[in-house]
């Protein structure tokens, strides 16, 4: 090798070495940068009274949306509309009763696929505030607690350190947190906050051992991957029992609330840290028989801007309300039992069908003063299906043998009537029957001092009247003879979801009397109505049918060929009394147009079949059918504000008003006009 060649080779070698060293240094720097990028964290900066997201100051403006109140097919649409409004997070409860419908039988699939919902939220650039309960209130049946708890131990002390209660709570939380743990923020997911219990400071138990146990169970999964928090009314009295050591305490209040006073109460229990309103109310809940509750946009915007000005984080409850499909609407108990509507529209910024309202636009504009608005295109209002009038035909009375065999549970006979819970039935109806064995006065007073919730009383299959817990009607005179059959069809109208009466047993809670004698020897048949395929298979050829006792009606229809994708619509049962509607086997919920204020039922287009397939509508009517034409109509507008016959427009009883936290405007707000925004937002 020549000398010159050796020098050149040596130079090339040195250059290659330098290049390799530079590349290694670059790789090392790149790896360091990558390490920083994946070092995700969400924590509280107590020194500066703020949250830190990946080390940078952060505050969230979030909205509540409950995945279990909305078809899975629409999750992305609603979440995208929330992001388009300027929100950067979504809050959702987790409903224990739905995810564990039977003891140790868990369901996180299909319409209850919580991990997928969280994934979609992340894909839509939303962080997640998770509220796993076990108690959630949420105006849901028994506050989200499974009613089978009352079967396991009727004396169980709910929301306490009761050992039998905690056995099931711990199993549920361990299962749930295992499912969602990978989606905590520190683990790469969007969940930044996990709530411990729910407004526990408003519950009489005030069991600190209980909330500490919940904290320990959840924190063992969370570690530092998210922030644990509580929420309670914006007053010291609620925080006293709601605050959990080691868990960040937040408050809730609505428009018209005193922002300074509420955050001052938070400061007593959290001297440092960010201000947080975890439930800011842009609407309100409504019970059957009340005027529709509404909240005006001006007050919402004013209070929102007050909070954002002091760098508070805010969660709207609800930003989208949705629907209590099936039998999942709960009830309150103020001075009486108050069942809630099927609709959970809540006068929210997004309607029950996901349309934008003027309130949405006003909130978006206010948020834009403090946070950058994303460049997202959303449709303000989707067209609705004007599917016309559908003729129904009678199928059979609930009392018919064919219906009993097709829908009823195996009859239970006992000396005294049993509750739904003792019969291991959660929802729907139970038929109680007994045979009169001794002569009675004519008429004799038939009484059930404690009936829960509404009973249709019949003698030999003929209706005689209604007993009502809500109206405190517990007796009526009936004429019977020896061998007469007394029947009472009892409806569970929703278990209480707030306060001290959440252990809400259904059915006969006391014995019945006829005259002065206790009635004995009862046969009980359950009708949970979770599968009505037996009715689908029955003929409607009974042309001589005359409605009297509770009965099923059925009709079929085909959508226009032009609707290749079925549109959302509303079922209008005007002329009917009270009952339950099913579309293609799906339980749309309870209707009660004679009382109101809700008249129409929301029908998601995703539950309809396009032409040429045939759709089936079934009504289970309890009290009134519009003979001779058993018709219903599909309409394009919701009708939720009928004035009830004996309404109280100023009555706003419910969990948050019971808490006395100035959460609403003074007096009823004028009903907000719901004209759909006609432009596409960008």
**Residues 240, 208 contacting (CB under 8 angstroms):** no
Residue 2: pLDDT band (50, 70, 90) is: very low
Residue with tokens 């609505």: 254
> Which one, of 277, 363, 275, 349, lies nearest residue 86 by Cα?
363
472-476 contact pairs (CB < 8 A, 24+)? 472/336, 474/447, 474/448, 474/449, 474/450, 475/445, 475/446, 475/447, 475/448, 475/449, 476/445, 476/446
- What is the tens place of the pLDDT at every residue in 226-243? 999 999 999 999 999 999
Q: Is 25 exposed, middle or buried, given 0-12, 13-18 or 19+ CB atoms closer than 10 A?
A: exposed
pLDDT tens profile 137-157: 999 999 999 999 999 999 999
Q: For 350, which DSSP code? A: B
pLDDT computed for residue 35 by the predictor: 40
pTM above 0.85, yes or no: yes
Which of 263, 395, 280 lies closest to 349 in space, CA to CA?
Answer: 280
User: Does residue 68 contact residue 116 with C-beta atoms inside 8 Å?
Assistant: no
pLDDT score at 563 = 84
At 214 the pLDDT is 98
pLDDT, one tens digit per residue, over 598-619 is 999 999 999 999 999 999 999 9
**Residue percentage of the chain with pLDDT more than 90:** 86
Q: What residues have CB less than 8 Å from 425, skipping those under 6 apart?
A: 409, 526, 528
Q: Residue 620 gets which letter from DSSP?
A: E
pLDDT at residue 12 tops 60: no
What does the pLDDT average to over 205-219? 98
> What is residue 542's predicted lDDT score, i.e. its pLDDT?
64
Residue 367 structure tokens: 């948020």
Give residue 180's Cα distance to chain centre. Answer: 20
- 613 and 245 Cβ atoms separated by less than 8 Å: no
- pLDDT confidence of residue 213: 98
User: Do 423 and 412 contact (CB within 8 A), yes or no?
Assistant: yes
Q: Which residues, in sequence order, are CB contacts of 419 under 8 Å at separation 6+? A: 505, 506, 507, 508, 509
d(CA 634, CA 675): 20
**In the annotation, is 279 catalytic?**
yes
Backbone angles phi, psi at 499, to 5 degrees: 95, -160
pLDDT of residue 38: 52
Average pLDDT, the chain: 90
Residue 223 reports pLDDT greater than 70? yes
Let me know if 199 is a catalytic residue. Answer: yes
pLDDT tens digits, one per residue of 508-543: 999 999 999 999 999 999 999 999 999 999 988 765
Is 25 or 627 the better-scoring residue by pLDDT? 627
Active-site annotation holder among 197, 199, 421, 433: 199
Of the residues 197, 279, 290, 421, which is catalytic? 279
Arithmetic mean of pLDDT, 250-277 = 97
Tokens describing residue 568: 């959302």
Backbone dihedral region of 60: left (phi > 0), alpha (psi from -120 to 50 degrees) or beta?
A: beta
Pairing mode, strands 454-459 and 586-591: unpaired
Residue linked to tokens 């947190």:
177
CA distance 346 to 329: 13
> Shortest CA distance to 455 belongs to which of 414, 494, 490, 430?
490
Angstrom distances, CA of residue 465 to CA of 67, 386, 513: 39, 37, 16
pLDDT tens-digit map of 442-493: 999 999 999 999 999 999 999 999 999 999 999 999 999 999 999 999 999 9
Cα(553)–Cα(590) distance, integer angstroms? 15
> Which tens digit of pLDDT belongs to each residue from 636-672?
999 999 999 974 443 333 333 333 333 322 222 222 2
What does the DSSP assignment read for 7-62? HHHHHHHHHHHHHHHHHHHHHHHHHHHHHHHH---EEEETTTTEEEETTEEE--EE
Residue of 295, 281, 306 lying closest to 366 (CA atoms):
306
| Cα–Cα dist 565/561, whole Å | 9
Task: Give the pLDDT of residue 543.
Answer: 58
Place of tokens 């069908």: 353
* Nearest in space to 549 (alpha carbons), one of 456, 677, 416: 456
Instruction: Give yes or no for a contact between 622 and 457, defined as CB atoms under 8 angstroms apart.
Output: no
- The mean-pLDDT minimum among 107-121, 372-386, 575-589, 636-650 falls in 636-650
């Amino acid at each position: 090798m020549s000398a010159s060649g050796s020098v050149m080779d040596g130079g090339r070698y040195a250059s290659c070495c330098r290049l390799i060293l530079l590349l290694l240094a670059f790789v090392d720097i790149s790896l360091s940068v990558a390490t920083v990028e994946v070092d995700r964290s969400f924590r509280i900066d107590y020194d500066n009274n703020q949250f830190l997201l990946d080390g940078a100051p952060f505050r969230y403006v979030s909205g509540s949306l409950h995945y279990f109140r909305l078809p899975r097919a629409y999750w992305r649409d609603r979440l995208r509309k929330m992001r388009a409004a300027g929100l950067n997070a979504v809050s959702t409860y987790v409903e224990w009763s739905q995810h564990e419908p039977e003891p140790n039988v868990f369901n996180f699939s299909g319409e209850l696929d919580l991990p997928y919902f969280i994934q979609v939220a992340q894909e839509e650039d939303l962080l997640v505030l998770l509220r796993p309960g076990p108690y959630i209130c949420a105006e849901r049946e028994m506050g989200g607690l499974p009613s089978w708890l009352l079967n396991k131990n009727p004396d169980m002390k709910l929301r306490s350190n009761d050992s039998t209660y905690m056995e099931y709570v711990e199993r549920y939380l361990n299962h749930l947190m295992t499912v969602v743990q990978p989606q905590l923020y520190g683990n790469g997911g969007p969940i930044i906050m996990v709530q411990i219990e729910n407004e526990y400071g408003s519950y009489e138990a005030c069991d600190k051992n209980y909330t500490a146990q919940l904290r320990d169970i959840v924190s063992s999964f969370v570690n530092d991957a998210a922030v644990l928090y509580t929420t309670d009314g914006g007053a010291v009295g609620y925080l006293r029992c709601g605050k959990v050591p080691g868990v960040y305490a937040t408050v809730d209040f609505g428009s018209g609330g005193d922002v300074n006073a509420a955050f001052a109460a938070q400061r007593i229990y959290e001297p440092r840290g960010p201000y947080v309103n975890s439930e800011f109310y842009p609407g309100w809940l409504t019970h059957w028989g009340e005027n529709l509750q509404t909240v005006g946009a001006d007050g919402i915007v004013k209070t929102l801007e007050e909070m954002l000005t002091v760098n508070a984080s805010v969660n709207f409850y609800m930003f989208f309300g949705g629907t209590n499909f099936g039998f999942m609407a709960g009830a309150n108990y103020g001075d009486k039992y108050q069942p809630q509507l099927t609709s959970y529209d809540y006068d929210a910024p997004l309607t029950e069908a996901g349309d934008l309202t003027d309130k949405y636009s006003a909130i978006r504009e206010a948020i834009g003063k403090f946070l950058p608005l994303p460049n997202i295109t959303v449709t303000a209002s989707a067209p609705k299906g004007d599917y016309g009038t559908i003729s129904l035909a009678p199928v059979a009375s609930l009392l018919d043998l064919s219906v009993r065999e097709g829908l009823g549970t195996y009859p239970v006979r006992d000396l005294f009537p049993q509750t739904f819970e003792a019969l291991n039935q959660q929802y729907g109806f139970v038929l109680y029957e007994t045979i009169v064995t001794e002569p009675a006065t004519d008429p004799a007073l038939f009484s059930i001092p404690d009936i829960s919730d509404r009973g249709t009383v019949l003698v030999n299959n003929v209706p005689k009247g209604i007993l009502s817990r809500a109206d405190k009607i517990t007796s009526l005179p009936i004429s019977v003879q020896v061998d007469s059959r007394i029947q009472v069809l009892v409806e569970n109208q929703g278990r209480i979801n707030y306060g001290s009466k959440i252990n809400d047993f259904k059915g006969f809670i006391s014995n019945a009397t006829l005259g002065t004698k206790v009635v004995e020897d009862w046969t009980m048949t359950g009708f949970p109505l979770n599968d009505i395929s037996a009715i689908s298979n029955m003929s409607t050829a009974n042309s001589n049918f005359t409605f009297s006792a509770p009965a099923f009606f059925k009709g079929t229809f085909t959508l226009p060929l032009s609707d290749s994708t079925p549109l959302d619509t509303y079922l209008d049962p005007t002329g009917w009394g009270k009952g339950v509607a099913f579309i293609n086997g799906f339980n749309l919920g309870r209707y009660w147009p004679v009382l109101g204020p809700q008249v129409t039922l929301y029908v998601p287009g995703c539950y309809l079949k396009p032409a040429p397939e045939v759709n089936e509508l079934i009504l289970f009517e309890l009290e009134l059918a519009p003979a001779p034409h058993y018709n219903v109509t599909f309409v394009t507008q919701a009708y939720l504000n009928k004035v009830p016959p004996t309404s109280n427009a100023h009555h706003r009883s419910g969990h948050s008003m019971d808490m006395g936290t100035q959460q609403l405007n003074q007096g009823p707000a004028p009903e907000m006009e719901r004209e759909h925004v006609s432009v596409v937002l960008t």
